[in-house]
Each structure stands twice: as structure tokens, then as C-alpha cells.
Amino acid sequence: MTATAITHLESFNPATGESVGTVPVTPPGDVQGVVDAVSRVQPAWARLSLQERGAYLERASQVVLDECDEIRDLIAREQGKPRNEAFSMEILPTVDALRWIARAGAEILSEEKVPMPQVFLKTKRSAFVYEPLGVIGVISPWNYPWSIPLGEVALALMAGNGVVLKPASVTPLIGERIVSVLERAGVPAGLVRVVHGPGTGAVLAESSVAKVFFTGSVETGRAVAEACARRLKGCVLELGGKDPMIVLDDAHLEHAIAGAVWGGFANAGQTCSGIERVYVMRSVADRFIAGVVAGAQRLRVGDPMSWDTEIGPMVSGEQLESVRSLVDDAAAAGAELRCGGPVEAPAGLDGAFYAPAVLTGVTQDMRIMREEIFGPVVPIIVVDSEEEAVALANDSDFGLGASVWTSDRERGERVAAELQSGMVWINDHMFSHGACQCAWGGVKDSGLGRTHSKFGLYECVNVKLRTWEGSAVRDAWWYPYDETLGKALHSTAQVLYGRASERAAALRDGAVPLAKLGGRLARDAIRR
């Protein structure tokens, strides 16, 4: 007896357990057909000018703004992010990103002249041209189900590509809404398509898409990279994070405390670049820890649809148990839980809630300092020097973001240079994901490539070099080869690149072969 195939994917509110809606499942065998359908629409889009493509994205920005209340509440109901976070961390960044991509993208992706300063290349004209790849696959996560995929889709569209989007299976309605917004803005129907359901992400990576943007776990990211490598195509991977926060003895302490509370607990800690490790100098540790504990205890856990809620539910009971396991392991090994932990769902709700937790007495070898927490937990280690803090911060398989907190800019920049990460913020943390002009991505197990910024746009194109030669004179280094050519080339190298004191002699010694070669080229030009 065969199991009945799943035809629809149901989305549930993580705070209440109620159904939010359903979407049709895409059978894995149909994914290539979706890619093929997008590839038939994409060429017409690619023929539009950069300014024309940008105009569609600017209209999409306005559509997001027009529909922002509905989108905000959909994010709160389907993902569990509090309303204010849904707006500040998801909607507002995409309104700005769509406009930045439209305006800056038209300049960044314009044909770029390549200077040819070499004397022997003066007859040539060169340029970089940025051509679309075709169809790009975007496999997006549940923790930022609106801003991450929409930003990547917009980069791909600006570069002239079509897109197949695979949203996370727990936030499928948000993925559908992204396509709805773009089509309302006039983006051609079928240029961006969505696939849903188990197995579709893996099949999308193995399909004929030209490149894959993936955000998710290290394990799945490796599988995506392997699938792409076998097909000799590129991928951009934004994987796990274990971001350190270094609090130096001259930090503005109240500011650092507030930053630790927000950076560690926003989105219930379910953020790749959230603060997951804190290294604080001993001289300020007591005041800092007391401030973070007090700040954590003040945060209000509740219904993400309530305006005053600051910590919504975990995305699932399984995620809460994963966090509980790491905290219990640390406590068993000697760490002290200063506040927080699992709590009963507030009245009228039925989700998995975890109050913001602060751990002290932590050691670097504990699992909680090695593995990604992805929950509202801030473990703190007291250090005795800047050097110790940097060494511990770099002692990780991850390298997404990091922050340094100090009143001395020069000191902060010196420490930043020593940290192994894709981004370093001084006296702030992770805000730049909301500024599309800033690059986003990590090193080590945190991923490959970059999204956002000009580098994100370059990930979406084939960089082609195009040159022009007027053909008045053939290249000097072409056949026939003889001693005259050899001496002329040697003399040219000495004159152009040799020591200044030797150039006159090189020109004198090479005058005859250079004259002979020049005459040969001149006669060849006359014959043409």
C-alpha cells in the first residue's frame, strides 16, 4: 500500500497553532518544468534596459509600502516575529533595498570601460559588460522569510534574470506574497515562480538554474554546494553564525548593554547574526552582566500581534527543545542561568515560548559556545585582556559577523582587523542587513559569496570582457618570429618597466630592432 501524496502544505501560526493558510505542493518531478517555464519568460526581461528594470523595482517598493500593514501582520502570524520587528527588520529594509537596487544597480551594472595604459595596447578598446545568468534559484529560510528572499530576488531581477523561489516550508504564504507584490508592480507574470514542499529545494539546486542563493544550515548548505559543483555552476551560501560581541573596558557601557539585549534577543534569538557569545573585560564585567540580566528580565513575552510584545514564540516546539538542550548542557557543566528559560504560553496562546536567558560562568569548550543556539540566550565569558577576547572570538567554526564595543575608534578598528568574520560592527550589531549597500556574508562555515551591495549584484551576472581592435595595424607579437622580434620585445620591456637609470641604454640598444619591427608593421598596414 502506497502513502497518499501530499498535495498541499499548511502553514500554522507558531503562537496559537491555528492554520494561517495552505499552498499547493510542487512535486519534485515538476521543478525542472518550472525552471524551464521561467527561462522562456526571462529573455524578454533581459532585453529591457537597466533603467526599465529598475522602474519595476521602484514600483515594487511602493507596493510593499502600500501593503505594509497586511504584510507585517502576515509575517507576525506565520513566522512569529512581533509586529514592530516585522516592520523594522523585514518590511522597512526591503522598501529601502528595492529602491537602492533600482538606482545604484543601474550604475553598478552599466557597461564599464577598462583603461588600457600599456603603450603596445593603445589601439584597443575594452569594457566589462554584465550579462544575466538566466534563471537563478533562491532557497530561503524561515527566520527572515520576507527580507532575505525578496532582497535576493530583487538583485537577480535587476541583473536581468528570472527566479525560482523555494520558501521555507513553515512560511510558504510569505513566499507567495513576494510574487504577488512583484506582479502587482508590473513584473511580467511567470518571471518569478515559487515552488513548495519537501524535496523541492534539493531538486532546484540540481536543476538547470544557473546559480543558487541558499540561506540555511551548514549541513544543507554543503549539499547545495556539492550539487552545484557537480554541475559547474555557482552558489552563494549564507549559513550558520555564532557571532561574538567583545566589550572592552572603555566601552560606553549602557550602550553596550542595550546592544547586547537587542542583538541577542531580537526575533527570539532566531537570527544567524544574532549575538551568541559575549566576551567582556573583567573591569566592567559585573556592571555589564547586571545590566544585561535586568534588560532581559524586562522584555515582554507574548502574542506577536500585540504592539507591546518584544519576544514572540519560537518557530516550533522542536526549536525550543534544541535551545533547552544547549542551556541544560551548559548548566550541568557549571554555567549559571541568571534568568530566562521555557515559559508557559500566555493566556489564549498555544506556542513554544522561551523567556530571554543569560548565562554566566560559561567556558569556551561548552557546546553552547561551539554550536549555533538560534534562540534567546546570551552566554557571557569574562576575559582579562583584549588579546584573550580576540583569540576566543576567533576560536569558532563560524565567521558571519562580530562586534567590538569601545569608545576608541582606532582601537575598535584594530580589533576589527583581527577578527575572522565577514562583517564587523563597532558599537552596533547586525544592523547592516537592513542597508542593502553593505555587503552581507561570512567566512569559514558561515558560507561563501556575498549578498547585498555591488558584490551581490555581481553574483547575479556573467562578467564578460569585450574588446575592440580597429585592425589598422596587426599586433607586434604575431608571426613571424625572428631575432628582430625577440630583441624588440626585450628592449620594450626594459624601457617600459626597467630601472630608470637603465632605460636610455635599453632604448639605444633596441633602436635598430624596434625600427625594423615598426617598418614591418607599417608595410603590413599599407598592404591592408
| pLDDT tens digits in sequence order for the chain, 528 residues long | 344 578 999 999 999 999 999 999 999 999 999 999 999 999 999 999 999 999 999 999 999 999 999 999 999 999 999 999 999 999 999 999 999 999 999 999 999 999 999 988 999 999 999 999 999 999 999 999 999 999 999 999 999 999 999 999 999 999 999 999 999 999 999 999 999 999 999 999 999 999 999 999 999 999 999 999 999 999 999 999 999 999 999 999 999 999 999 999 999 999 999 999 999 999 999 999 999 999 999 999 999 999 999 999 999 999 999 999 999 999 999 999 999 999 999 999 999 999 999 999 999 999 999 999 999 999 999 999 999 999 999 999 999 999 999 999 999 999 999 999 999 999 999 999 999 999 999 999 999 999 999 999 999 999 999 999 988 888 999 999 999 999 999 999 999 999 999 999 999 999 999 999 989 888 877 776
Calculate the average pLDDT of the chain. 96
Please give the grid coordinates belonging to residue 174. 510569505
CB burial of residue 115 (10 Å; 0-12, 13-18, 19+): exposed
Residue 260 CA to residue 292 CA, distance in Å, equals: 7
pLDDT score for 65: 98
Would you give the DSSP letter of residue 134?
A: S
pTM for the predicted model, two decimal places: 0.95
Residue 419 CA to residue 239 CA, distance in Å, equals: 18
- Residue found by looking up cell 541577542 in the block: 264
Please give the grid coordinates belonging to residue 96. 529601502
Q: Helix axis angle, 50-66 relative to 68-79, nearest 10°?
A: 70
Contacts of residue 366, defined as CB under 8 A and 6 or more positions apart, other chains included, come to 329, 330, 333, 335, 379
Domains of the chain, earliest start first? 27-109+130-239+455-464 (3.40.605.10), 243-434 (3.40.309.10), 476-527 (no CATH)
Residue 164 in contact with residue 204, Cβ under 8 Å?
Answer: yes
Nearest to 241 by CA among 357, 79, 387, 370: 370
Residue 420 in contact with residue 443, Cβ under 8 Å?
Answer: yes
Q: List, in sequence order, every residue forming a beta bridge with 399; answer none if it has no partner.
A: 443
pLDDT score for 524: 78
pLDDT score for 528: 65
Please give the grid coordinates belonging to residue 400. 558571519
The residue type of 440 is: W
Nearest to 341 by CA among 310, 394, 296: 296
Residue 454 CA to residue 503 CA, distance in Å, equals: 42
Q: 358-391 pLDDT, tens per residue?
A: 999 999 999 999 999 999 999 999 999 999 999 9
Residue 390 in contact with residue 419, Cβ under 8 Å?
Answer: yes
Cα-Cα-Cα-Cα dihedral sign, residues 331, 293, 341, 272: negative
Q: 460-472 pLDDT, tens per residue?
A: 999 999 999 988 8
Residue 339 in contact with residue 227, Cβ under 8 Å?
Answer: no
Per-residue burial over 338-365, b = 16 or more CB atoms within 10 Å of its CB, e = otherwise: bbbbeeebbeebebbbbbbbbbbbbeee
Residue 490 CA to residue 477 CA, distance in Å, equals: 12
Residue 147 in contact with residue 478, Cβ under 8 Å?
Answer: no
pLDDT score for 204: 98
Q: Supply φ then ψ for residue 360, to 5 degrees.
A: -125, 175
| 161 conformational bin, left if phi > 0, alpha if psi -120 to 50, beta if neither | beta
pLDDT score for 525: 74
Q: 5-63 pLDDT, tens per residue?
A: 789 999 999 999 999 999 999 999 999 999 999 999 999 999 999 999 999 999 999 99
